[in-house]
Amino acid sequence: SAARILTQVVIVGSQIVGKAFVEAYRNVSVAAAANAGKNKAADAATMRTGMSLDEASMILNLKKSAGDVHAVGREEILKRYDHLFKVNDPAEGGSFYLQSKVFRAKERLEMELDRAQAPSDTPPQNP
């Protein structure tokens, strides 16, 4: 009968969707676990400074994305920091809050540069 066929189609369709959902969840879990170790240091730096790489890049007006902070270089970061820190000096009518944000942005970007230059935890492989 038509009702029986319709019921079977719904059951089989539900099983297929359920299996696809479980497989997608597994894939996301595996990817998240792989990225967890890589992002742990960046997350610690974000927690310490209270600022993400993207926010730090925006504050110091870096055109490069946060992923390209290494291409910008320490000298450019310091140059922009010095300028913005002086412009926001409270003694010159600036804002202590903004000066603090500029300082934290420099600190966050420097942490990222230091993390990238730190030696890896894994010893080099000899072929």
Average pLDDT (74-99) is: 92
Average pLDDT (20-29) is: 82
| Residue with token string 């935890």 | 121
Model confidence at 64: pLDDT above 60: no
14, 46, 57, 75, 90 from 53: Cα distances, Å? 43, 8, 6, 17, 26
According to the model, what pLDDT value does residue 97 have?
92
Which residues make Cβ contacts (< 8 Å) with residue 116, sequence separation at least 6?
70
What is the distance between the alpha carbons of residues 60 and 63, in angstroms, rounded to a whole number?
A: 9
What is the distance between the alpha carbons of residues 60 and 58, in angstroms, rounded to a whole number?
A: 5
According to the model, what pLDDT value does residue 127 have?
47
Residue-wise pLDDT tens digits, 90-106: 998 989 999 999 999 99
SS3 86: helix
Report DSSP state, residue 1: -
What is the distance between the alpha carbons of residues 62 and 108, in angstroms, rounded to a whole number?
A: 13
Assigned token pair, 98? 């903004």
Please state whether the predicted TM-score (pTM) of the whole model is above 0.75: no
Per-range mean pLDDT, top range of 8-12, 37-41, 50-54 = 8-12
